[in-house]
């Protein structure tokens, strides 16, 4: 990879357009939940780990926006849930992917 290719790849990630490798990881979460009889995945954009390389991905806000659009077009519903316990330091608002 030369410097120009590296810069192009960096810009794709910054703009949230490099999500092709993330979709299969989210679909693996969906399949696991569906096989367990569930109809949603909590925090679908968090803790994405590639099982082959064990590489962990951190989804940028731009990538999350792109993923939300793609998943919505595929018929999924993404619901933003408020913080269930604002006083607790571990509690936070979260998204859920529903089908």
Q: Where are the domains of the chain?
A: 3-98
Tokens linked to 88: 């607790």
Q: What confidence category does residue 6 fall into, taking pLDDT thresholds of 50, 70 and 90? A: confident
| Whether this model's pTM surpasses 0.75 | yes
Residue 8 pLDDT: 80
Question: Residue 42's closest CA among 87, 84, 86?
Answer: 84
- Give the mean model confidence (pLDDT) for residues 91-97: 94
Q: SS3 for 29?
A: helix
φ, ψ of residue 21 to 5 degrees: the values are -80, -15
pLDDT digits (tens, 9 = 90+) for 11-60: 766 666 678 889 999 999 999 999 999 999 999 999 898 888 888 888 88
Q: Which residue(s) pair with 38 in the sheet?
A: none
Residue 1 pLDDT: 82
- Cβ partners under 8 Å of residue 65, min gap 6: 16
pLDDT of 4 above 70: yes
């Amino acid at each position: 990879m030369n410097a120009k290719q590296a810069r192009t790849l960096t810009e794709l990630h910054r703009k949230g357009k490099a999500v092709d490798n993330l979709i299969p990881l989210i679909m693996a979460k969906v399949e696991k939940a569906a096989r367990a009889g569930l109809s949603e995945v909590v925090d679908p954009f968090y803790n994405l780990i590639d099982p082959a390389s064990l590489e962990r991905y951190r989804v940028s806000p731009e990538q999350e926006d792109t993923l939300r659009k793609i998943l919505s077009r595929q018929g999924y519903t993404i619901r933003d849930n408020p913080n269930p316990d604002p006083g607790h330091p571990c509690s936070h608002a979260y998204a859920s992917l529903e089908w």
